[in-house]
Structure 1
Amino acid sequence: MRTFSEEEITAAAPNQNALSNGRKISGSGGFVRRMRSEDERYYGGECKGSGKNNYRVSVFFEEGAAPVFRCSCPSRQFPCKHSIALMFEMAAKKDFELCEIPEDILEKQRKLSAREKKKEEKAAEGEAKPKKLSAAGKAARTRKLKKQLEGLALLKALTDRLLGSGLAALSSAPLKDYKELARQLGDYYLPGPQLLFRKLLFVLERCQSAGKGEDPGERYREALSYLTKLRYLGRRSEEYLKKKLQSDSPEADDNLLYEALGGIWRLEELNALGLKKENAELVQLSFEERYDPVEKLYTDLAYWIDLRDGEISYSANYRPEKAAKYIRSEDSSFSLLRAESVSIYPAAEGELRRIRWEKASFGEIPPESFSRIRSFSETELREALKKAKAQLKNTLSDNTFGILIHYKRIGESGGGKLYLEDRLGERIRLSEDAGNDTALFSLRALPYPGLFREQVLFGLVRYERKGEELLLLPRSIVTERGIVRLMF
């Protein structure tokens, strides 16, 4: 009999409400009938609902494809809460009476398979022959590039004005005019620079609201970093856009500046550029949720390691605050994720790359996988930090770099601060994100002394401007038997 794991059900649910409601329906005996075909391709049932008649719910399995859910309810969510409830029924291994697959389901499945086949053929044709913009599309892209160049001229005038005034002088000056100018950047198709400018103004507002006796030095350093990024992005982007216009090729390319300016990649564009890997087997090293108060955006951030080559990458699920309740949030994964195709976002050489997939399956992590993950770790801090420094020097870096490091021990200094020491005696201080001490609290609370010696740690290297030092934010410990999460 087929079943679903808790993680697979959570991954399938469109949002938390659908997951909770599906669990309630299953737990309260919502299904009055459950059926399955002898070949186990079809599972279905009749579920009580708010309507006069019971809802017909089903899931169809086909080799090499994701399960197909169907329900007669009027919900626009997919899969709906009744489909989620059916998954819980299967997970609980309840009794399903044998039946023939309904003819209407078989007919719908044949049509779906035909559409999928046609789509795959088109995709294969598109990869063999990259899609070219139409004359109208090319003209529209060219107009957009010219408009962006106009916006970059406005951005340069803004940053020149800020530099002329001095950041310290702005700590007491009204920022209303600058906010209006920041808004105007959105009219020039420059959401990337616009967001950086808004973050700069946000930090300057915090400088203005600093209390008496509070040292604003760190905030000025942060404001200066945003101003530096804006100047760098403006200069490099101007060169980039002019070259695109001169070359008469306004199509999206793999230049990092495309995304930095606010361009949004579609999976088919990434795949057409060859930015993908096939048959990936991924294990999640860490998961956390971040919130950006300027963008008003939640980000579900997960770090993964590929069991084939040891490459560490990350996935990001973005949930705008206004629509957060309608968008399914991601969660920690404790399973082996298999994806036939993983799309890769452009990144600087050596930088962690963002990945994304459309279809994936989950299974148990083979016990030998943890030893394999450990085998990919760095053994010397000096080499690991050398790679981190190379990326953190990138002006557009987000000031974090993931590393997997084998340590001799984790100890505590005389000042009560934790540090990691490698086999050569080199040390780095363990730190935490501002306002979130979960990881260090979890680390101090670990009950097994063996976790503090001769293990492998996954963490994020960060440069602290105030102390001018590299710090390591611990996220998980990889042992021979599993992964100990310090954050969820």
Structure 2
Amino acid sequence: MLQLTASYIDSLAPNAAAIKNGQGLVKKKSLVQLNCSETGELLFGECSGSGKSNYVCSVDFIIQDKPVYRCTCPSRQFPCKHVLGLMYAYSDGMKFTVAAIPEDISVKREKAEKREETKAEQESGTAELKPKKVNKSALKKKITAQLEGLDVLEKLILSLIRSGLGTIDNKMLKNIHEHVKQMGNYYLSGAQTELRRFALLLADDRDREESYTYAAEQLTELHAFIKKGRAYLINKQEDPELTLDHESTMEEWLGHAWQLTELKAFGKVREGVELLQLAFFSYDDAARQEFVDHGYWLELLNGEIHRTVQYRPHKAAKHLREDDSFFEIAQISMLYKYPGEMNARVRYEQMTPRPVTAGDVAEIGDKAHRSYAEVIKKVKNQLKNPLSDKTPVLLLHAAKLGRTASGQFAITDESGYQLVLEDISALPEGTVGLLPYLDAAQVDNSSILVMFEHRMDQGRLVAQPLTIVKDAAITRLLY
């Protein structure tokens, strides 16, 4: 018998409005037909709507952790309010009549089973992996266009550097925004985002001196991308196979969206991985014009900190389900890892949750870095590359939490090395203000997940605490 709870159905909904509308259909008795399969894993029925004909909806739990939603309504949300209403009706105990599975669903089930079989064969290695075929002629034209775009961008950047940031007025800002549009035409999505971020920094109402400092850093990043991107594209033109670079983030800077088949072909995959999410946050990235859902996960076996990222474009955000905090262990049969340095992005298609045990929490402490001097050296080495992630996240062992002579919070390692804790601009919320509410016993001799940021205007490296792990307790300051 299928078990559905209201909280579980809520977790499947794309947003709060969909939950309200789905429950509203049940209250209004808009579901005019309720059926289930003999085995109970398929719910299907009809719901009256604004049209002449009823909407036919169904939810198939033949694969328990991957329900399939279907509806004849024009909504772009999955699941739509009609499917949610169907599930809420079931969880509320409404009567469902056993009926034969509709023929169209049977056909779709067969096709889905074949896809799952093929996927299973690929994951087990028994089937030949077939990456997407590359149209080399089209790719060469794209590379030529990208090189032209880099030339256009370079002229703009050099002009801004010669003139100085203080001379940028509304007319120049308009010119920069015109170049932002052009970067899209030249297939340079990474440059497009960062150039828009540069324009937003100058238009910001923050302290002018601070804006100039970070705008200068943005120009440095764009200039580095022009040099490295041009060299990379020229070399790629000379490669008869036009091979993708699977070690650096250059392909993503140039707008390439990695396919899972490509990552697997390059060996960027791990099997039988267990991940524990230690931090999660969402924010609106105005430069990307997208909402971003960010999760940081600890791989229990080796202690690496990975990140999951979901982008939800502003125009389509209401149709996409927002990610959320996850408090269990994710058991993943196949983990795909994107090119990158520290905190490389990962992705998976399926996972099985299991409760966190005391043994899992004990392992977290074993994976924490104990020497801050080594950690700082590692972070600085990453920050030397202008195209690297500027906010690396690491798990540190904190022998003690205290305050500096100036009153700032700081954690100390076993050798006495202090690391100042401050809220950073890269995160949507501060957490340092929560530290006074914690007892020293909760922090001393603990493991703390921190995000680093280099304060360009002050020449300092600071860290913001995200999560504190002590004994059997995991205290999230940001989730």
TM-score, normalised to structure 2, is 0.86
Q: Secondary structure at the match of 1:368?
A: helix
Q: Distance in 2 between matches of 1:414 and 1:119?
A: 59
Q: Secondary structure at the match of 1:175?
A: helix
Q: Distance in 2 between matches of 1:275 and 1:333?
A: 24
Deviation of residue 364 (structure 1)? Answer: 2.2
1:437–1:329: structure 2 CA closer, same or farther, 3 Å change rule?
A: closer
Deviation of residue 438 (structure 1)? Answer: 3.5
Q: 1:424 aligns with which of 405, 415, 419?
A: 415
1:309-367 deviations in Å (ceiling 9; x for gaps): 2221111111222322222111111122222222211003xx11011122223332233
Matched residue type, 1:221: T
**What is the aligned partner in structure 1 of residue 77 from structure 2?**
77
Matched residue type, 2:357: P
1:34–1:389: structure 2 CA closer, same or farther, 3 Å change rule?
A: same
**What is the aligned partner in structure 2 of residue 169 from structure 1?**
167
* Conservation of the 8 A alpha-carbon contact between 2:297 and 2:305: yes
Deviation of residue 185 (structure 1)? Answer: 2.4
**What is the aligned partner in structure 2 of residue 140 from structure 1?**
138
RMSD: 3.4
Q: Secondary structure at the match of 1:227?
A: helix
**What is the aligned partner in structure 1 of residue 258 from structure 2?**
265
Deviation of residue 439 (structure 1)? Answer: 1.3
Deviation of residue 249 (structure 1)? Answer: 2.6
**What is the aligned partner in structure 2 of residue 19 from structure 1?**
19
1:380–1:8: structure 2 CA closer, same or farther, 3 Å change rule?
A: farther
Aligned residues: 474
Q: Distance in 2 between matches of 1:288 and 1:6?
A: 24
**What is the aligned partner in structure 1 of residue 306 from structure 2?**
313
1:101-144 deviations in Å (ceiling 9; x for gaps): 7474656533431343356557888974554746xx11000011
**What is the aligned partner in structure 1 of residue 370 from structure 2?**
379
1:113–1:298: structure 2 CA closer, same or farther, 3 Å change rule?
A: same
Q: Distance in 1 between matches of 2:126 and 2:200?
A: 44
1:50–1:341: structure 2 CA closer, same or farther, 3 Å change rule?
A: same
Matched residue type, 1:139: S
What pairs with 1:43-442 in structure 2 (closer than 5 Å)? 43-44=42-43, 49-50=48-49, 57-62=58-63, 66-70=66-70, 75-85=75-85, 87=87, 94=93, 102=101, 104=103, 108-118=108-118, 128=128, 131=131, 133=133, 137-170=135-168, 174-206=172-204, 216-254=208-246, 255-348=248-341, 351-434=342-425, 437-442=429-434
Percent same amino acid at aligned positions? 30
* Conservation of the 8 A alpha-carbon contact between 2:445 and 2:470: no
* Conservation of the 8 A alpha-carbon contact between 1:5 and 1:91: yes
1:73–1:217: structure 2 CA closer, same or farther, 3 Å change rule?
A: closer
Deviation of residue 180 (structure 1)? Answer: 2.3
Deviation of residue 158 (structure 1)? Answer: 1.6
1:269–1:5: structure 2 CA closer, same or farther, 3 Å change rule?
A: farther
Q: Which moved more, 1:237-246 or 1:375-384?
A: 375-384
Q: Distance in 2 between matches of 1:109 and 1:195?
A: 41
* Conservation of the 8 A alpha-carbon contact between 1:407 and 1:420: yes
Matched residue type, 2:17: N
Q: Which moved more, 1:297-306 or 1:330-339?
A: 330-339
TM-score, normalised to structure 1, is 0.85
Matched residue type, 1:44: L
1:90–1:118: structure 2 CA closer, same or farther, 3 Å change rule?
A: same
> Unpaired runs of 5+ in structure 1?
none
Q: Secondary structure at the match of 1:225?
A: helix
Q: Secondary structure at the match of 1:487?
A: coil
Deviation of residue 90 (structure 1)? Answer: 6.7
> Unpaired runs of 5+ in structure 2?
none
1:88–1:323: structure 2 CA closer, same or farther, 3 Å change rule?
A: same
Q: Distance in 2 between matches of 1:442 and 1:91?
A: 39
* Conservation of the 8 A alpha-carbon contact between 2:9 and 2:87: yes
1:47–1:381: structure 2 CA closer, same or farther, 3 Å change rule?
A: farther
Q: Distance in 2 between matches of 1:437 and 1:54?
A: 42
Deviation of residue 146 (structure 1)? Answer: 0.9
